[in-house]
Amino acid sequence: MARDVAIIGIGMSSWGELWELSLRDVFVKAALAAIEDAGVDRIDAMYIGNMSAGLFNGQEHLAALMADYLGTDAIPATRVESACASGGLAVKLGFMEVALGMSDIVLVGGVEKMTDVGTNDATYALSTAADQEYEVYQGITFPGLYAIMARAHMDTYGTTREQLAQVAVKNHDHGSLNPIGQYPFKITLESVLNSVMVADPLRILDCSPITDGAAALVLCPLELAKKISKKPAVKIIGVGHATDSIALHSRNDITSLPATAKAADMAFKMADVNIKKIDLVELHDCFTIAEICVIEELGIVEKGKGGTAATSGLTRLGGKIPVNTSGGLKSKGHPVGATGVAQVVEIVTQLRGDAGPRQVEKARIGLTQNMGGSGGSTLVHIMEVI
């Protein structure tokens, strides 16, 4: 790698049903917040993660649009897409742009405006992350795909319906401490277990919501960060990116997420750390079962033991390795293209010691895991405060 890369600015729009704002407004709010946080007066290049503004908003060509509305000077601007991992992918490419020396000050953003269409249209748009020809045409939706994974995990490893619910309870406990989220309140085990069935065994409170929102970062070379920023420099020390079959039925084992294992392995190798060195994790809990599978793939628990982690307190604030202190996708919301960037915003907030009531003590190294579809693509980043 040519140059070390630091994160010197973070920003978020509010997250929720933002009917008073357009797609471009939502993005620009987050971008300006990150630029202000970084204290820079220019941007040299931009990467933006977005899954499907074409279907949600009738708008492609997003990077040029956002660069224009942000008032930049005709900079190179790139939109990337990897379904719900689009934000994480934008982080990777921004890292590359700075590491390679193509640009010094790079804005990385993610945005999705999902509530401008009705629920059926949103479900359809999200289904385009699966294999249209072999999965979606058969009638399956994303809750259905993750329900299959959940049922298989229950059958194979004895994971219980209550353990799934405990993931949602934990993440809402964390989210109640994060006012920027869409649903920043606690929920109870009973409310999850009695909520409306979506796709057996998953109920509505096992599912992340449909959200409007954006998140943004400012990256620059570490050497420059030390000169221009008074805040603690957060260095990106590990980057991992892998793919898998997009269709669930093509996997050898539908309780596993090999792309997550592979991306994590790449990031750990690059960072020269292992899971024991990680102080906190933001991961892709699009459904409660996803968090259970992902903590297994990351090596936080052994394969098959993911169900017990939320219950035992291992992954709670105050536990050995807190997971989703932001509230996760479940409580904070899941504007799909923004999620991977917002995960990094939470890690930087924690590593700076700015997380207030949800602060993880002595947090020095954090990890994000952002995944597309039913695990067809995954990005992992590891960050360390310098």
Q: Is 334 in the site for a second copy (CB under 8 A)?
A: no
Q: Is 197 in the site for a second copy (CB under 8 A)?
A: no
Contact string 244-273 vs a second copy (x = CB under 8 A): xxxx--x-------xx--x-----------
User: Can you say how many angstroms the Cα of residue 337 is from the centroid of all Cα atoms in its chain?
Assistant: 8
Pairing of strands 280-282, 365-372: parallel
Phi, psi (deg, nearest 5) at residue 2: -70, -55
Instruction: Out of 93, 198, 205, 237, point to the residue binding a second copy (CB under 8 A).
Output: 93
What is d(CA 68, CA 83) in angstroms, rounded to the nearest whole number? 24
Nearer to a second copy, 270 or 273 (CB): 270
For tokens 């945005």, name the residue: 111
Q: Is 187 in the site for a second copy (CB under 8 A)?
A: no
Q: Is 96 in the site for a second copy (CB under 8 A)?
A: yes
What is d(CA 380, CA 344) in angstroms, rounded to the nearest whole number? 10
What is d(CA 7, CA 155) in angstroms, rounded to the nearest whole number? 43
Nearer to a second copy, 246 or 309 (CB): 246
Whether 249 is catalytic is no
DSSP 287: B
Q: Is 125 in the site for a second copy (CB under 8 A)?
A: yes
Residues 10-39 within binding reach of a second copy (CB under 8 A): 22, 24
The strand pairing partners of 241, in sequence order, are: 379
By CB under 8 A, which span of 99-107, 206-214, 298-306, 357-365 interacts with a second copy? 99-107
99-109 b/e (C-beta count within 10 Å ≥ 16 → b): beeebbbbbbb
Residues 134-173 within binding reach of a second copy (CB under 8 A): 136
Q: Which of 172, 174, 284, 334 is catalytic?
A: 334
Instruction: Report helix, strand or coil for 381.
Output: strand
Which residue ranges make up the site for a second copy (CB under 8 A)? Answer: 1-2, 22, 24, 51-55, 57-65, 67-68, 72, 74-83, 89, 93, 96-97, 99-102, 124-125, 127-133, 136, 241-247, 250, 258-259, 262, 372-373, 376-377
